[in-house]
């Protein structure tokens, strides 16, 4: 895994200075190519605009209700949508499906321990199951859990246990255009204030989400993790990392934080986890798998309680809702996510899309995060007021024009209040999430062309109205209609 093609690029300059006995110069090129070749293909289907117009109408103008086969490029999410490697597939065939003590579990446990250093490893079927077990065990009414920004499912589990999910991301993290290398950092002063105001006894854990998904996939610096850890340890509060994109975060630390340029992503990840007392993980992200997750920690007593609940809701603690072959895939995927060649390609290809859009004049969240590009639809479509859903309109136009499925992160997702009234969301964004190892540079080039073409036709775009909706999480199943 070391000694990849891209490691060689790094030492390119140095090598050039060395005398080549053949008198030929080494060539690496400027293009960051996909660090894999393709041996199994999955056809994607082309449709006409007339077909897509009809399909979208049938789906109630809600991209969530489209059939995946009617989508050309699917950027709905990067969760569980990645391509697995031949190493993962071959390990899956040789899995151990024993109910208790399967060798596949021990491989999984040893990979998680090796990377995170945590003593107890509890497998779960995905990230939210780990959150459910953790918060059901530690949180109670009146408690508060500080985080840089809670991801939707994390917030939901904290609130389900009647505790408060508090977001303490730094101010820079709330401004889409503000350039800052670590916009996912937590505001340490606010954290100290919260502890003082609410009392140590009401804070069962402090969390950091790395990278910060709900804040645009922005990274957290090692310095910030160290500071949060120091505060947590001073007060004796457990510190957990929401580690879904730990490998992408390690890469940002390597490339943006002083003192880490010569460390491997694995060394950086290990250091991140060293400052924490445990983590929750969705293996559908940097586990490079289609399903899976885990909860890990050092505390023996807490682990005992969590294992009991795992047995009740997930399964026996040596499989916890995963098949043996899922655990095999994750055990390998965690290392593949830390491969430098992969990470360089991953982060570069997301930035590449962002740069193309920004160069064409499209407003995006800056700097580009690890797993997605976010388009500012409020800026692009000033003719559509927030409660006529500009980001929804843009997402639908991307499907009509390019066959691309994206997701609205705006007033359809967040606007409906518990009392049934509507309030505009703070931002109207369209997220283009990039699945891991799935699309090639030509897909991304096409994608950029389609978004730019949509931008050229922006004045023709109209707002939408909701015609039917559920009372919670309405974006998943609401039906809409275009306004005339």
Non-local (6+) Cβ contacts of 238 within 8 A are 138, 204, 205, 206, 232, 277, 278, 297, 299, 302
- Cβ proximity to ligand PLP, 95 vs 153, nearer residue: 153
Does 455 contact ligand PLP by CB under 6 A? no
With 0-12 / 13-18 / 19 or more C-beta atoms within 10 angstroms meaning exposed / middle / buried, residue 359 is: exposed
Minimum distance between the CB of residue 7 and ligand PLP, rounded to whole angstroms? 29
The tokens describing 135, both together, are: 């918060």
Among 204, 293, 354, 463, the residue binding ligand PLP under the rule CB under 6 A is 293
Report yes or no: 277 and 402 within 8 Å, Cβ to Cβ.
no
The site string for ligand PLP over 163-192 (x = CB under 6 A, - otherwise) reads ------------------------------
In the block, tokens 């090796």 appear at 114
Does 282 contact ligand PLP by CB under 6 A? yes
- Coil, strand or helix at 17: helix
Closest CA to 387 of 426, 415, 420, 417: 415
Using the contact rule CB under 6 A, the part of the chain among 42-50, 148-156, 177-185, 355-363 near ligand PLP is 148-156
The tokens describing 274, both together, are: 């060293």
Helical axes 86-93 vs 324-337, angle rounded to 10°: 160
- Cβ proximity to ligand PLP, 160 vs 230, nearer residue: 160
Does 216 contact ligand PLP by CB under 6 A? no
Tell me which DSSP letter residue 83 carries: P
Among 104, 147, 153, 224, the residue binding ligand PLP under the rule CB under 6 A is 153
Q: Residue with the closest Cβ to ligand PLP?
A: 127
In the block, tokens 């991801």 appear at 151
Does 158 contact ligand PLP by CB under 6 A? no
Does 154 contact ligand PLP by CB under 6 A? yes
Q: How many residues bind ligand PLP (CB under 6 A)?
A: 15
Among 209, 249, 393, 411, the residue binding ligand PLP under the rule CB under 6 A is 209
With 0-12 / 13-18 / 19 or more C-beta atoms within 10 angstroms meaning exposed / middle / buried, residue 335 is: middle
Among 244, 268, 407, 429, the residue binding ligand PLP under the rule CB under 6 A is 244
Does 149 contact ligand PLP by CB under 6 A? no
Does 82 contact ligand PLP by CB under 6 A? no
Does 242 contact ligand PLP by CB under 6 A? yes
CA 83-257-75 angle, 5° bins: 25
Minimum distance between the CB of residue 311 and ligand PLP, rounded to whole angstroms? 19
Does 409 contact ligand PLP by CB under 6 A? no
Using the contact rule CB under 6 A, the part of the chain among 134-142, 151-159, 232-240, 385-393 near ligand PLP is 151-159
Report yes or no: 279 and 273 within 8 Å, Cβ to Cβ.
yes
- Cβ proximity to ligand PLP, 282 vs 411, nearer residue: 282
Using the contact rule CB under 6 A, the part of the chain among 135-143, 278-286, 316-324, 358-366 near ligand PLP is 278-286
Does 284 contact ligand PLP by CB under 6 A? yes
- Cβ proximity to ligand PLP, 158 vs 362, nearer residue: 158
Strands of 290-416, DSSP E: 293-297, 372-376, 404-405, 407-409
Residue list 110-129, contact with ligand PLP (CB under 6 A):
126-128
Dist. CA 110–CA 119, nearest whole Å:
10
- Cβ proximity to ligand PLP, 95 vs 209, nearer residue: 209
In this structure, are strands 407-409 and 404-405 parallel, antiparallel, or unpaired?
Answer: unpaired
- Cβ proximity to ligand PLP, 284 vs 307, nearer residue: 284
Does 229 contact ligand PLP by CB under 6 A? no
Sheet hosting strand 429-433, strand order edge to edge? 372-376, 429-433, 407-409
Dist. CA 324–CA 335, nearest whole Å:
18
The DSSP annotation for 24-37 comes to: ------S----SS-
Helix, strand, coil share (%) of the chain residues, nearest 5: 45, 15, 40
Minimum distance between the CB of residue 190 and ligand PLP, rounded to whole angstroms? 20
Query: Which spans of this chain sit near ligand PLP (rule: CB under 6 A)?
Result: 79, 126-128, 151, 153-154, 209, 213, 242, 244, 282, 284-285, 293
């Amino acid at each position: 895994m070391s000694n990849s093609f891209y490691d060689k690029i790094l030492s390119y300059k140095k090598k050039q200075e060395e005398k080549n006995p053949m008198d030929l110069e080494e060539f690496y090129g400027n293009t960051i190519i996909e660090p894999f070749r393709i041996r199994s293909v999955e056809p994607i289907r082309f449709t006409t605009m007339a077909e897509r117009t009809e399909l979208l109408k049938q789906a109630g103008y809600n991209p969530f209700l489209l059939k995946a086969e009617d989508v050309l490029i699917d950027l709905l999410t990067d969760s569980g949508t990645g391509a697995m490697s031949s190493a993962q597939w071959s390990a899956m065939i040789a899995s151990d499906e024993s109910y208790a003590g399967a060798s596949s579990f021990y491989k999984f446990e040893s990979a998680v321990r090796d990377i995170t250093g945590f003593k107890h490893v509890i497998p779960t079927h995905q990230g939210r199951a780990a959150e459910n077990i953790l918060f059901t065990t530690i949180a109670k009414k009146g408690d508060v859990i500080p985080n840089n920004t809670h991801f939707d499912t994390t917030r939901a589990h904290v609130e389900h246990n009647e505790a408060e999910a508090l977001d303490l991301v730094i101010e820079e993290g709330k401004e889409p255009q503000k350039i800052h290398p670590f916009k996912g950092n937590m505001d340490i002063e606010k954290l100290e204030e919260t502890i003082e105001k609410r009392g140590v006894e009401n804070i069962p854990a402090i969390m950091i989400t790395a990278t910060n998904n709900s804040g645009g996939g922005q990274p957290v610096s090692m310095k910030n993790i160290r500071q949060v850890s120091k505060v947590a340890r001073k007060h004796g509060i457990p510190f957990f990392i929401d580690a879904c994109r730990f490998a992408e975060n390690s890469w940002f630390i390597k490339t943006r934080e002083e003192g880490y340029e010569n460390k491997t992503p694995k060394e950086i990840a290990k250091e991140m986890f060293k400052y924490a007392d445990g983590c929750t993980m969705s293996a559908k992200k940097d586990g490079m798998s289609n399903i899976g997750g885990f909860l890990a920690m050092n505390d023996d007593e807490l682990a005992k309680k969590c294992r009991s609940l795992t047995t009740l809701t997930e399964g026996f603690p040596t499989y916890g809702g995963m098949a043996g072959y899922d655990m095999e895939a994750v055990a390998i995927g965690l290392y593949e996510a830390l491969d430098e060649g992969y990470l360089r390609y991953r982060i570069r290809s997301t930035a590449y899309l962002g740069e193309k859009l920004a160069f064409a004049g499209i407003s995006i969240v800056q700097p580009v995060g690890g797993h997605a590009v976010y388009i500012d639809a409020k800026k692009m479509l000033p003719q559509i007021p927030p409660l006529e859903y500009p980001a929804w309109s843009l997402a639908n136009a991307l499907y009509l024009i390019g066959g691309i499925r994206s997701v609205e992160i705006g007033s359809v997702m967040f606007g409906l209040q518990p009392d049934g009234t509507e309030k505009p969301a703070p931002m109207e964004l369209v997220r283009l999430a990039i699945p891991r190892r799935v699309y090639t540079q030509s897909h991304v080039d096409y994608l950029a062309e389609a978004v730019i073409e949509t931008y050229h036709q922006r004045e023709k775009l109209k707002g939408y109205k909701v015609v039917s909706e559920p009372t919670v999480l309405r974006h998943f199943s609401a039906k809409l209609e275009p306004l005339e």
